[in-house]
Structure formats: C-alpha cells, structure tokens
A and B are shown apart, each in its own frame.
Chain A
C-alpha cells in the first residue's frame, strides 16, 4: 500500500471506490473538477502490486471562502475499502490533505460533514485528528440522517 497525490488516470478507480463505500456518489466530472481546481489537495491509497485504488480523500477549498480573509479547506469525500481499513490509511490521507491546504492555500481551517451514526469516522475525526463539533445539520443526507459539521483550526504555516 502506498499514498500518493491523485492523478487523472486514477479518478475512475477513485469513483469506483466511492461507489463501493458510500451512498453519496458523483459523476466523474465532479472528480475532474476537483483535480482541475485543487490538484494538490486530493490523495489516494493504492495497492502497490496491482495499482488498484483502495482509498482516497477528495478535498477542495470552500468556494465561498476563496476570496475571504480566512480560507477554509473542505473534505468532499473520504473512504477506504474494507479490506484496507484499520491500518491508518484514512489517517494518513487526511494528514496529507491537511498539510497541502495549509501550504498551498494558506487555509486557516478545515471542515467536513459526517453521519451522526458513523462511529469509525467519528473516532477518526475526533480522537485521531482532533476535529471539533461545529453544529448539527438536520436531515443533511438524502436518506434523512443528520450530519455533524466538524471543524479543525489549522496553525498558520511558518516560512
């Protein structure tokens, strides 16, 4: 397993991983859009032997914040195939994305949504990555489940 920056030829595999793991899906153009706008922010975990995608983080800059004083990075989607879970893949992907948000875009914070019932993800965000609860968005998901909006303040990088 290895972790790399996303490149276009992996987007099909990323889309497939997303479709396999999460009910929130997008057509390829949305992935293209991420890669065309913020190519530094998304990362992928790949099986070294087969080259297959096993996990990814798809991230962007919150468009509303782009012209603001404080830019905010946003995690659009994160998932890891069950076969590769619990070995720190998600943690590493998130760490890479966080760093790029600071470095390239001088983002002062990072935000994301998570299902209130998603224990694994909540553990990752709260315990491992030190995100905090911002607020709850009622019925955020298509099936009616609520979302926690999570946030983390990023330290300003030193040059």
Chain B
C-alpha cells in the first residue's frame, strides 16, 4: 500500500472514506478528485473514486476506474476490497468473494474485509467457506457471544451437527455466572442447541436436554411444541397427550395440536365414535374455540352430522358471520352432506319466518329477526353458487330476496357479483362489486375486491383508478409507483393478465417482470440479517429465514406470474407479429390474420421499421429523464421501459423466458402446469432432452392429464421426424429415446391411440379438448370434425364456463370458420345465457 506523501491529503483521504460511508457521494467525489489532482497515480484514492461513481449509478465507468486503480496498486487491500464491493453491487457474488479473498490475503487482520466476505458466503450458501471465515472471526473476538453462535450456525448449515453443538456448549461452559432468567439471548441459544440435537436425529437426547432447560425457557410455546413432538416420536404417548392438552389450553385454535392429540391417543382416522367422543370433550373444555366444533363435521355423517352441523352453522348465522358457508363448504366433497346442510339452514329460515317478533317487541329484537333471515338467505344463495351445488337461477333469486330485506349490506352484493362472474358476465360482476364498495367506501377490502373484479373485466385503467383511492399517489410513478414500492403482487399479476387477454403483451411482460423483480428483492432482503440476527440472538428464527429463502420461489405468487410470462414468450415465439401493438390489436390484427404470407412479411417489415423509430425516440426520452433524475437524486433508478416495449420487441423470446422458467421448474417441479409450460418452451428451443424431461415429469405427476397426452403425441411426431444426421438441435440420446418409448411405444398408431383417449375421456371437457387438439395436430384436414366434437362437448356437465371460454380460443387458433364459431357460441349461450364471451 502506497501512502499519500502529504498529511493534508491523508486527512482528505480519510474524509473521502467518511463521505462514502455517510452516502455524501457528491462531496466524496469532489474530495477524491482534489487528491488525485496532486497524486494522479494514487491507486487507493482512484479506487474510492470508482466506488463512489458506482454509487452514482455509473457502473461501467466505475469498473474501468477501479481496474486502473488495481493496475496502479496491486498490493493494496483497499483496491481489492473496493473491487469486491463493485462486484457485490452488480450481484456477481462469486467474483466479489474472489476479490475479498485477495484483499484478505494482503490484510489478514482486517475485520471489515472478513465480515464482508463472511456475509457474502452466507448469502451464497458457501457454508464451508463460511465456516472458515467464522472460525477466523471467533479467533479475532472470542469474547462476543455472537461469534460463537455465528460459527455454530455455519457448522449447522454445513451439516456438521456435532461440532455445532459442541461450540455452543463450549461457550455455555465458559460462562462464570449463570445469566439471569430473563436473558432471552441465552434462552434462545439453549433452545437453538436443542433444535440442532433434534435435527441430528437424536430425539431421546433432545428430550433429555429440553427437560434440563425447560424451567428457564421464555418461549414457552416452542418449548412445549418441541416437547410434544419428541414424546410422540419416542412413543411416550401418554405424556405427549398431556403436553398437547396444555398446548390446546394456550391456543385452542391450532389444528396441529388437535392432530397431535389424536395421534398421541392412537385414535385411527376412521374410528368415528372415538373421535366424536374426544371432540365433544374438547368442546366443553374450550368453549370459544372453533376447531372442536368444526372438525367433527368432516368425519360425522347422517343424523350425527346433521345435529353437529346445525349447532355449528346456526350459531354463525345468528352472529352475522359472513364466513358461515366458507367455513363449511369443504364438507361438500361428501355429496350426502350437501342436501343435509341445505336442509338445516332452510329449516332454520322457515322456523324464523314462522315466528316473527310480536308487534310490541323491541326494535333490537325486530332487527335481529330480519338479520337472521338475511344471513340464512345469504347462506343458501352461496350454496347454490358453489360449484358443487351450482344452480345460478336459484342463487340469484335467493340473493335478491335477501337484498330486498336489507339493501345496505355489502356482503349481499359481493356474493351477487361473484354469481355474475360465474355466469360469465364480467362487466356486470364488476358493476355489482362497485355497488358493494359504495356502501362502505372506507373499507379497503371492498375496494380491493372491486379493483380485482374491474381488472377481470379487462379494464386496466378502471382498476388502477380504484386502487388510487387507498394509495399514496404522490409517490414517484403515482398510484402504480406506490403499488410497486409496496410490492402489491396480486395487483401486478391481475393487471398483467388483463393485458395478456387484450394482447397487450408488452405491458403484460412488464408486470410479470415486476413480480420477478420483487422476488429478487425478497431474496436480497435477507442480506442484512446475516449480521443483524446474530446480534439480536434470535437464532432459530434466523435459520428459519435462511431455509425459507432457499425455497422462496416455491410460492404461488411467483408460480402464477412466471407461468404467465412463459406463456407470453411462447406466444411471441409462435406469432412474432403479436410483439407489435399495431398488428396484435383491434381491426388491424384481424386483417393481419387474413393476409397472405408475402403480405404478412411486408406488414411485419413495416412494423419493425416503425418500431425502430419509436425505440430511438424512447431511448432519447429515457436518457433525458435519466439526466434530469441524476440532477435530483443520487439513488433513484429511472425505469427506461415503462410500457415493456423493449421486453416485447425481443428477438429471443424463448431465451428471455428462461429467466422465469428456470426458477419455476427448480422450485415447483411438483406441479403439472409447470412441467407443461417447461415442455412448451423447451420444445420450441429445440432442446429435446429438456422437453422430454418435463414431459416425463408431467406424466409421472398426472399420467391421464390432457395436456400431457397432447404433448406426448406431439413429441412422438417430432422424435419420429428427427433427421438421422446431426442438426443444430441437441441430439437425443438413446437412453432418452428409450425412456420416451416406455411412455409411448415407437410403433404406436398415434391416431388410434388418440381416438381411444377421446373415447375414454368422453365426459371430461378439459381432457377431451386436449385430445381434440391432438386430433387437429395429427390431421389438420379433420378440423371440422374436431370442431363439431368440441361444440358438442360444451353441453357436458363437467364443462365449466372458464374452460368453455378456453375452448373458443382453441377454435380461433384452428382458424375455424365463422359458422363453427357461431355454433360454439350458441352452445355456450345455451348454458350460460349471460356470458359475454358467447354473445353473437
């Protein structure tokens, strides 16, 4: 390290460091430049200048500067440390770790560099490296408890339970005096050790240890939960029962405790009498808990069910709890309970009506009487709206009766809106939800629902406007900016899906990418906790956080947006003209479909030219905005592509899809729809091995699934038509081909195979539809026949409206004639007269 020759510059250099730490970048930059004027070859100052420039958003420039600095002073740990920080800021943690390690070699005692290195190792799950760093940190400061726990966590995560436990014990033994009883950090460390022992598989010893520390545990709930589970595992059932009863006394609404108790008592799931007795007893002990009253409804039947259901439901109805039907609908899986449940409420309704309050009864009594009728009607209406017992005419009739009695209750309109949705009239649904919203404008829940329904009716602007009633609209980017900042994923997804339905694929991709970005931020969020949590001493919670982060993208929010995005990208790969707003929407789009190939090419060319012009304009504007922003704030990054035009104009849609697809498949392999979309992307990329992998996985999950069936057939054709000489496509190994042959033998007559499937699935609309798609794929000339069968299928009982609307889309993909489309719509109208999609 070359020191600065003059002491004034040395002082200035220290102030550069502190300007940087206090985020005063402009001042820091000025000072660094001041030093450099006198000492142009001072590497460390130059490195600091680069670091600050990076913070001002000029990353490329920063890298050039810091690389120059390194050339000037290869032996400086500061330069290497800064180089690592740059890599860290662009999230290239691998390179950052390398640079930190260089820095550390030059300055082995630097606690700062070691800390930065350790944090990255934890973030990267480089547990072996982390163990080493943590050992050094403990060596530097063995008096800090967090350094002991830090090493224990590192060892635990690397799978070394024994040493992890040993380290914690060593620290405990080093304590001269026992910490006071309310020392939470100590209690937590003990409980953490207990968790390690249990995870190492030594249940017996874990229990023993737990009993030895039980008395001083502050987190009583966890302690009891651990104890109960150990006892159960060890077969000490009677003791386990007792602990579960204690737990239930603390929280009578935790279903896991009931399950634990049943297990400990050795009650079999089908032993109805024993379960009934158990829950009756529990209901007495826990008069306010929901579970002991609700759980028996799952296993009781006949008169016993009737009796229990009556008590449960009527109590909720009398309380005016809107959740009465929601709470019970799961029992409808058992069809025999559907009628009984309805009868229970109908009887209550009849009885209430037969006993009106006397004329001189109090107002409160009169109101209660009406309320009981209204909530009973509400229950019955929901019964008829539920898909297992759906009769929309009766549902509408019943809810209208209720509305007549009380036109001020939002719930009634909310459920009516849902009925319109089920009838296929999304516009009416949104309007009705708005009526509900207007009845209680201060309730954000109603506003949320209304916005969602508005988006479902494809009204993006309307949805946003509603949201604006509850957001801080002065945030950068207005309402949408606030929703983004607050990570309102449901809205982004619904908004994107609405754009998708309208073929506005740029905005759709934009929204799905925003969801993707939120998940990246959530992943990044853990960073600070690698040090914070150790200081706080909440170690078990920290470990839980690490484990959750490792599975972060196994989340329905991510799954949904990622599948959507992949769908858009496959659409773009199949029909590149959809990337051009002018060719994908409205009249022009329809005209485009009718053009000849040559004319299509011409139109595409024109659209591309226009797009290029627009792009240049946009880039100019973005640059301008960026300049303006640079003048104002240091850290605000400007969105240069608010409408997703750059995203949608990609020339490599399938490669872009991988950003979504890879984590989707890695973290959600157990979903057929995930494997199905993986197949669609990979087959288009001509990555046949990956496509087959998805197909095999999908087949394993749902061998009879229509999607899988259709993909099998498509893949058979592709495999059969692969040229024997090498192509640009990845070759399929014999092993893979053998694997595929096991699913669909090589000499299968696929047309017949498909025909058999169609016959077998004759009553299942979804599977039938996929079978017909396969039929069309195999014999495009049989389009009319396939279409006619699809029209017929609309009448199937199992066909629901969402699927029926999908069917219409399939016909359009086949370029079916107007006549066929009209027939299909007519069939749809026959079943759902109000459905917008089927209007002529």
Contacts of A36 in B (CB 8 A): 529, 532-533, 536, 538, 541-542, 545
Q: Counting CB contacts under 8 A, is B551 at the interface?
A: yes
Q: Closest A residue to B330 by CB, please name it.
A: A49
Contact B321 A28 (CB under 8 A): no
How far is A109 from B471 in the complex, measured between Cα atoms in Å?
A: 32
Kindly identify which residue among B184, B330, B486, B542 contacts A25, using a CB–CB cutoff of 8 Å. B486
> Shortest distance in angstroms between A63's beta carbon and chain B's nearest beta carbon?
12
> Shortest distance in angstroms between A122's beta carbon and chain B's nearest beta carbon?
13
Contact A104 B184 (CB under 8 A): yes
Contacts of A29 in B (CB 8 A): 525
A110-137 interface code vs B (CB 8 A; 1 in, 0 out):
0000000100000000000000000000
Contact B444 A20 (CB under 8 A): yes
Kindly identify which residue among B220, B445, B489, B529 contacts A81, using a CB–CB cutoff of 8 Å. B445
Contacts of B410 in A (CB 8 A): 82
Contact A15 B472 (CB under 8 A): no
Using a Cβ–Cβ cut-off of 8 Å, how many residues does chain B contribute to the interface with A? Answer: 62
Contact B322 A32 (CB under 8 A): no
Contact B532 A21 (CB under 8 A): no
How far is A83 from B442 in the complex, measured between Cα atoms in Å?
A: 16
Q: Counting CB contacts under 8 A, is B448 at the interface?
A: yes
Contacts of B536 in A (CB 8 A): 36-37
Contact A22 B444 (CB under 8 A): yes
Contact B545 A21 (CB under 8 A): no
How far is A86 from B288 in the complex, measured between Cα atoms in Å?
A: 14
Contact A99 B541 (CB under 8 A): no
Contact B330 A3 (CB under 8 A): no
Kindly identify which residue among B251, B489, B540 contacts A3, using a CB–CB cutoff of 8 Å. B251
CB neighbors of A among B173-221 (8 A): 182, 184, 218-221
Q: Counting CB contacts under 8 A, is B327 at the interface?
A: yes
Q: Closest A residue to B452 by CB, please name it.
A: A20
How far is A22 from B288 in the complex, measured between Cα atoms in Å?
A: 27
Q: Closest B residue to A3 by CB, please name it.
A: B253
Known contacts A8-B548, A32-B526, A32-B529; A20/B322 CB under 8 A: no
Known contacts A12-B557, A86-B321; A104/B525 CB under 8 A: no
Contact A2 B529 (CB under 8 A): no
| Interface size range of chain A in the complex | 35 or more
Known contacts A32-B529, A40-B221; A16/B490 CB under 8 A: yes
How far is A99 from B220 in the complex, measured between Cα atoms in Å?
A: 10
Kindly identify which residue among A1, A28, A87 contacts B522, using a CB–CB cutoff of 8 Å. A28
Contacts of A4 in B (CB 8 A): 251, 254, 256
How far is A12 from B554 in the complex, measured between Cα atoms in Å?
A: 12
Known contacts A23-B470, A32-B529; A82/B445 CB under 8 A: yes
Q: Closest A residue to B321 by CB, please name it.
A: A87
How far is A43 from B322 in the complex, measured between Cα atoms in Å?
A: 22
Contact B487 A27 (CB under 8 A): yes
Known contacts A5-B221, A9-B551; A19/B250 CB under 8 A: no
Contact A20 B445 (CB under 8 A): yes
Q: Counting CB contacts under 8 A, is B696 at the interface?
A: no
How far is A103 from B222 in the complex, measured between Cα atoms in Å?
A: 12
Known contacts A49-B330, A83-B323; A8/B544 CB under 8 A: yes
Contacts of B326 in A (CB 8 A): 47, 83-84
How far is A40 from B219 in the complex, measured between Cα atoms in Å?
A: 7
Kindly identify which residue among B445, B472, B489 contacts A21, using a CB–CB cutoff of 8 Å. B445
Q: Counting CB contacts under 8 A, is A100 at the interface?
A: yes
Known contacts A20-B445, A21-B445; A1/B529 CB under 8 A: no
How far is A142 from B486 in the complex, measured between Cα atoms in Å?
A: 15
How far is A28 from B558 in the complex, measured between Cα atoms in Å?
A: 15
Contacts of B411 in A (CB 8 A): 82
Contact A87 B486 (CB under 8 A): no
Q: Closest B residue to A100 by CB, please name it.
A: B221
Kindly identify which residue among B256, B522, B541 contacts A35, using a CB–CB cutoff of 8 Å. B541
> Shortest distance in angstroms between A90's beta carbon and chain B's nearest beta carbon?
12
Contacts of B182 in A (CB 8 A): 106
Known contacts A82-B322, A87-B319, A104-B218; A21/B444 CB under 8 A: yes
Q: Counting CB contacts under 8 A, is B576 at the interface?
A: no
Contacts of B470 in A (CB 8 A): 23
Interface pairs (23), CB distance under 8 Å = A1-B323, A3-B251, A7-B548, A9-B551, A12-B489, A15-B487, A20-B445, A20-B448, A23-B470, A27-B486, A27-B521, A29-B525, A32-B526, A35-B541, A39-B544, A82-B322, A83-B326, A84-B322, A84-B326, A85-B321, A85-B322, A96-B251, A105-B218
Residues of A within 8 A of B (CB): 1-5, 7-9, 12, 15-16, 19-23, 25-29, 32, 35-40, 47-49, 81-88, 92, 96, 99-100, 103-106, 117, 142
